[in-house]
Amino acid sequence: MKVLIDEDLHRSLGSVLSSLGFIVLDIRDEALRGSSDERVYEYAQKQKAVLFSADLGFSNILQFPLGAHYGIVVLRFPNEMSTKTINNLVKKLLEKLHTEDYQGNCIILSPGRIRIRRNKDRILV
């Protein structure tokens, strides 16, 4: 499965995701640094990629409706937490998910917790 990392997440997350078998794209390598949320979202859809971001705006299901995307994962970790700790926690949390948990859904990851807003209709782009 392909994933797109937003610029508000540390580059090292790419290594974590790769170790879990994801094909990783990074906004910073795609000449989209500083782009609007809408443009980042559109690019993720064009690439058929799950979008990983720390931007809580991507959890807005009115703006980014469930079922209309390949998946959105929003990371919500304290600023004081080290990148290494965040990466370790994210890896442990993602190991609990299955491929079908991503498609069309919005997943919120925080320390020790996974919340999934599921698309009940299962309509995908």
81-122: pLDDT as tens digits = 999 999 999 999 999 999 999 999 999 999 999 999 998 765
Record the pTM: 0.93
- Kindly state the tokens that stand for 22: 């994801």
Average pLDDT, the chain: 94
pLDDT recorded at residue 120: 79
Mean pLDDT computed over 30-42: 94
3-state secondary structure of 121: coil
Identity of residue 22: F
Structure tokens at 97: 């998910």
Taking the domains of the chain in order of start, what are their residue ranges? Answer: 2-117
Burial annotation 27-42 (CB, 10 A radius, 16+ → b, else e):
beeeebeebebeebbe
